[in-house]
Structure 1
Amino acid sequence: MGDKRQRARVQGSWAKSAQLPKGGARGRGEDSVPCQPRAACWGTGPQAFEFHQPAKPLREVPVEKVIEHAGEYQISQGPTGVSRLRLVPGFLSQEEADWMFSKLLAELPWSQKTNFKQGSGRAYEEPRLTCWFGELPYTYSNSTLQPSSQWHPVLIQLREAVEQASGRSFNSLLCNLYRDGKDSIAWHSDSEASLGPEPVIASLSLGDTRCFSLRKQPGPEEDGDYTYVERVRIPLAHGTLLLMEGATQEDWQHQVAKEYHDRGPRINLTFRTIYPEPARAKQTQSHGRWGERR
């Protein structure tokens, strides 16, 4: 019986309507008007949805293009000229590439270069090892690599093979050693004044495969925003040769990003032609335009 009485009391309390004191629930006096249904309280009532055209047209981010097969690729054409890539997988046989990789890894004078941020002058160490070969110095990111005329015999052999394949001659070589997936190089262009107009860069990869990415320089209307620019990705495997020609350094940037899974060491040999450096003001302008390599 006790349970029945308790249920009855609970049910009865739910069933009772709230007793409002005279003047309404909020004690506003006899002239106060009780609140009407919610829609009326808002004072808006049903309204038709009105579509407004966005202030800026909707844009789609371009799909990244992937280049994996041998061939010549025109990646853009504009006022500055045609940007071209030539990809030669298997430029070196597996046996040649294995032997050369082990020799260069063990015998080149690898060191970690210190660069300086433009503006602040703060020093930072590149996240990779490098060495330089050439009769002239090479300056980038406010730091200079000194001349080194003693080329390793393997590098001389490779330079001759690359010159024959490309139809170009090269007097300098920047070697990069990516020790693992954490080593990288940030977005930049090889557009220093000492490389001259429309430089040809021949990039030979040895060791583990790393992804080489390119992105087009945004137009003036983009105000430095890279969101909607064209992008290209190229997996560079052991023994692969990549040539960047035409306006590629003027109109595009490239990088080798960090990778957060196991990667073995990779050597990248970038053959180029260096000219005597012009006035310091032109160098500063070039560095300021394209930024720093980290």
Structure 2
Amino acid sequence: MFGIQAGLLTLLVLSVAPSRAETRTLHDITVGYLPAVRGENPDRQGLAISGAIAMAINEINEDDDLLADVNLVLRWNDTRGDTVLTTRVITDMLCDGVYAFFGPESSCYVESIVAQSRNIPMISYKCSDSRPSSVPTFARTEPPNTQVTKSVISLLQYHKWNKFTIIAEESWEIVAKALKEEAQKANESMSVMHTEIMVDSHECCVRNLPCCHSSFLYQVVERSKKRTRIYVFLGARDTLNQFMTSMQNHNMFENGEYMVIYVDMMTYSPKESLIYFYKQPDSDGGCQNQPGFDEKKARS
């Protein structure tokens, strides 16, 4: 009888006493999220991954074993991949007491310095610039674009292509420079025959520059075709397509004497392979079913 009474008393105490979750005081910690949802960068990932970070924040807040007595608060702004806008957003968040940053993507060097000035950690999920790697408060989940140079050099060495030309848009100029330096280190016989740095295609047309016209790339090919057989192209996919069309207009694919190596930091997908040949490919058909398909161009 005494045991039954003791058990009932225990149940009563447990039912009346407030739970740990009800009694604890949660301390809010705000983290800044700096995606590029809109903007000129064709490879922006803001729309693709924003749901993931929101879900992660919710799961952490619901698990008492991860961050006890802490409630993570997510604050975000669309940076559009613009350095000036991103810097302004960061300074505003710093003044409001943000504890850490996730992002930004695209532009990140100046932003990393600003975060360092307040000793705030910054974890970028997509930053192509190699310079922030020296900033002690900066970390990245994706390697900088300059690391791709070793893969390009390995490919060139495997095929014994010791002479090549670099065609790069301005946003890839650092990678182009790193590629030239890597070529000099790799082999004394390896040399860059010609380097062409172009204004990014979108900016060309916004500013109505001569490089917006199709004749510009035609002239780039004209200047370089007699000095090289191998091109390494660093730039947007649409510009790649225009560049190879200019090569096609020079009849450079007829005998299989020219090759274009394109560097794409996005994961390759067979379903999206047509984007390298068409601006708006028909996903329902293969390459051969596309109007104007040129097999020689595709093989190059």
TM-score by length of 2: 0.24
Q: Could you say which structure has the larger radius of gyration?
A: 1
Larger RCO of the pair (alpha carbons < 8 Å, separation 6+): 1
Higher strand proportion (structure 1 or 2): 1
Higher helix proportion (structure 1 or 2): 2
